[in-house]
Amino acid sequence: MPAAADETGPDERDPALAEELELDADGAAGGRVTVSQLAARRTPRGTLSRQVLLDSAREIIDIGGVNALSMRALGARLGVDPTAVYRHFQNKNELLDALADQLVRGDEPLPATGDPGEDLRENLRQLRRQLLRYPTLAPSVLRQPPGSGSWWDRMEHAVGALLALGLDEREAAATWQTLLFFVLGHALTEARHLAETIAADRVGAPMPTVNPPRSRHPRLAAVAPYLHADLTEQFETGIDRILGQASQA
């Protein structure tokens, strides 16, 4: 691990950072992150912490995507020598794992209303909200398999709700896995679209539509008008269908 360095860096930024930070945003059409967008902040001596680093790393990713993040870029953002970052994180991968763990944990307490069905739904809504809150960071939750770190708390809560609904252990496990992969697939699809629209300055643009030729795909054309319901409505409908099927097992 590099030797520790003073946490207050030089006023002059390394010229190489300009090239490093001027990266195309993930999937963006012409979106770029620049040093001017990521103005350096002077970090008072002795105040650099894991949380300060995580917050600043998230800001870099919000603007330029995961590829814009590096230990040097993070040091420049905070006005500290890059080697000071290594006091808290060994490398970029460890930093991304910590960000992913925070993303899964979120900042809302897991619900405890006494209604296991509603508590389970809100648990899943929380996860979706977190992924959509940080769309460029959202894919990082796939860096580690569900079943470690903050995933355990969310899973324990969800499985407990399923058991309280009357499912046996086997059915609870199968239903949780189905719910989890549905939520991740749905939310990450939304997050990718949202990240692309933000990068292209088209926030609020709808998802691409499906308009197949009826002569070749008559059945698909017949259901196409129903494929574009509000995304939140689609999400809630999917949860309801999974839980409805589980209750009949």
Please give the pLDDT value at position 97.
Answer: 92
CATH superfamily of 109-248: Tetracycline Repressor, domain 2 (1.10.357.10)
Please give the pLDDT value at position 193.
Answer: 85
Tokens describing residue 91: 């490398």
Please give the pLDDT value at position 143.
Answer: 80
How crowded is residue 170: how many other Cβ atoms within 10 Å of its Cβ?
9
Q: How far apart are CA 208 and CA 222, in angstroms?
A: 17
Exposed / middle / buried, residue 132 (Cβ in 10 Å: 0-12, 13-18, 19+): middle
Please give the pLDDT value at position 224.
Answer: 86
| C-alpha closest to that of 242 among 160, 182, 189 | 182
How crowded is residue 42: how many other Cβ atoms within 10 Å of its Cβ?
11
Q: How many residues would you count in the chain?
A: 249
Specify the residue for token string 């619900």.
Answer: 111
| Consecutive 10-residue averages of pLDDT for the chain (249 residues) | 38 36 36 46 69 93 89 91 91 93 93 97 97 92 78 95 97 96 94 81 71 92 82 93 87
Chain region(s) in the chain for CATH 1.10.357.10: 109-248
Q: Is the dihedral of CA 144, 146, 147, 152 positive or negative?
A: positive
CB of 200 within 8 A of CB of 30? Answer: yes
| Pure H helices in the chain | 16-21, 50-64, 71-78, 82-85, 92-105, 116-133, 150-164, 169-199, 218-223, 231-248
Tokens describing residue 103: 């993303």
CA 56 to chain centre: 15
How crowded is residue 229: how many other Cβ atoms within 10 Å of its Cβ?
12
Name the CA dihedral angle for 106, 108, 112, 118, rounded to a multiple of 10 degrees.
-80
Please give the pLDDT value at position 195.
Answer: 83
| C-alpha closest to that of 75 among 3, 10, 2 | 10
Q: Is 209 helix (H, G, I), strand (E, B) or coil?
A: coil
Q: How far apart are CA 93 and CA 183, in angstroms?
A: 25
